[in-house]
Structure 1
Amino acid sequence: MQLALLAGSSIGVSLGVFGSGGSVLALPVLVYLAGQSPKEAVTGSLFIVTIISITTLLFSDSRRQIHWPNAVALGVPGIAGTYSGALLASLVSGAVQLAVFAILMLVSSSLMWRQQPKAAENNPAGLWLMVATGFLVGIFTGFAGVGGGFLLLPALVMIARLDFLRARATSLLLIAVNASVGFIKNSWLLNQQGSTLDWLVLISIATLGALGALIGQHYSARWPQQRLRKGFAVFLILLAGLVFWQTLPELMEVS
């Protein structure tokens, strides 16, 4: 339990510094440190990421840096995708969800490792590409309990051509929206199965994570961003390997 609470601050720091990465830490923390089932952990991680993202937006300068047109273009289809992803998740085992989650961690590590692209001025994104991206991220959010920031942030920089700070702020808003929708739908499905959430653990981790996010965002301007991103990328690869190793026996039984 103590390790889970300590890891909560790391979840927040990741979201505060990068505008992504919080959910890819929250899910393993709940499964391997708090001892929750994959289904409970997916739902709980969405709650934690929702609280941290909202807190960061309310109590930092990020709320003034949101690019609302792109937030709408990604957010509306993201809600539909999140709802669809949660329905898909109800049809598969928790081991399958964890396996998909591990694959998404590898994708995230690849995106984190790459050099951050520079934004271009006055180069609007293609609407349909933004809509498709929002819907796809939403599916991942509902299905695997990820906030989707590791896909949203590159999309906002490379497709929408936003600078990093505006992309980070917009990503946080979209994470909060998608994660909250995913949490509501997944918690309802969880209740239908007779399972309950450990609210003491979730609220404690979310509180520490929110503090970590505010601290991380405040000091992140002084940190070597590219080194941090590459270090985080390596950590994600190791974490994905752990998840695959732990879920492989159950996946073999399913197959």
Structure 2
Amino acid sequence: MTLALAVVAGALIGLSLGALGGGGSILAVPVLVYTLGQSPAQATTGSLVVVAVTSLVGAIAAHRAGNVLLARGAVFGLVATGGAVVGARASAAVAEPVLLGAFAVLMLVVGTLLAVRQWRGRHADAGEGTTRRPGLDDPIITFSPTFACQCPRALKVLVTATAVGLLTGFLGVGGGFLVVPALLMALSLPLEYAAGTSLVVITITSSVALLARSGSGIAPDWWPVVALTAAAAVAAVAGARVADRADTRRLSTAFTGLVLAVAAYTAAQALPALV
């Protein structure tokens, strides 16, 4: 039964990461804690394994479909690594009830932001959804022939990337719910390319955060993590195909409802321990 739950949960996580470019990883910690019996510290470490492997598989599938801008994703991910290291080290110093309580609050915030984003999307002009391959726009910083800097955009990328890294390292989430909007606004990417490119960012930040935790002495129960990761990786490939062929708004709406439901359950379980 535990293995079956891991497979089903992994499929949901992978579909979300592959189709939406993020969000699914936020389910990994509650799944590992409440259905697979791991401690919050073990779960936030195991979640990084799930997220890193699944995002890598999804990024490869999205790249083959032509929906990844590799250089931009790599730069954003490298900027975020500093925050990932700090977050991973801070997580080891925090009590588990606080860790799980913070995760519950994060889920509620993410679910609300997803709902607001969908509401705004329904009221956007129909012309905004035009699919096109983006050209090479003006870079944020150039050194030749003269130095030039679009500093407001550079600051936006720096702040958002650092926040993504901190969340990834501290709570074991991929941060795709922050990466996708950041790539849309700061780098002016169309939605379909932002979703695929975000998987590159998540792969980098999750891997760095996992390496930063490697000396903490906290190891998850590996068999459930492996089952969850395998199911998520397979589903991520399917999710990338869904993103390339179908309207993902319905999937996004269903996923938002799931996140809010899991958030409410996590809060009900975690917050009383803080009182």
The share of aligned pairs that are identical, in percent, is 35
SS at 2:163 equivalent: helix
Deviation per CA, 1:138-189, whole angstroms, max 9, x where unpaired? 0011111110001101111122210112111210001001111111222321
Deviation per CA, 1:17-47, whole angstroms, max 9, x where unpaired? 1010121111111001100000000000000
The answer (yes or no) to whether the contact 2:77–2:201 under 8 Å persists in 1 is yes
Measure how far apart 1:220 and its partner are: 3.3
CA separation of 1:112/1:26 partners in 2, compared to 1, >3 Å: closer, same or farther? same
SS at 1:150 equivalent: helix
Partner of 1:231: 254
Give TM-score, length-normalised by structure 1.
Answer: 0.89
Partner of 1:210: 233
RMSD: 2.2
The answer (yes or no) to whether the contact 1:111–1:154 under 8 Å persists in 2 is no
Which 5+ residue runs of structure 2 have no aligned equivalent? Answer: 141-152
Equivalences for residues 1-255 of structure 1 within 5 A: 1=2, 2-61=4-63, 64-113=66-115, 114=117, 115-116=120-121, 118=128, 122=137, 126-189=153-216, 191=217, 195-252=218-275
Which 5+ residue runs of structure 1 have no aligned equivalent? Answer: none
Deviation per CA, 1:60-118, whole angstroms, max 9, x where unpaired? 43584333453244222210000001111122112212222222222322332214474
Name the CA distance, whole Å, in 1 between partners of 2:9 and 2:86: 30
SS at 1:70 equivalent: helix
Give TM-score, length-normalised by structure 2.
Answer: 0.83
Measure how far apart 1:58 and its partner are: 2.5
Name the CA distance, whole Å, in 2 between partners of 1:88 and 1:32: 23
CA separation of 1:199/1:216 partners in 2, compared to 1, >3 Å: closer, same or farther? same
CA separation of 1:73/1:174 partners in 2, compared to 1, >3 Å: closer, same or farther? same
SS at 1:197 equivalent: coil
Higher relative CO (Cα under 8 Å, sequence separation at least 6) belongs to 2
Name the CA distance, whole Å, in 1 between partners of 2:259 and 2:219: 29
The answer (yes or no) to whether the contact 1:74–1:135 under 8 Å persists in 2 is no
CA separation of 1:62/1:88 partners in 2, compared to 1, >3 Å: closer, same or farther? farther
Measure how far apart 1:222 and its partner are: 4.3
Bigger Rg, which one: 2
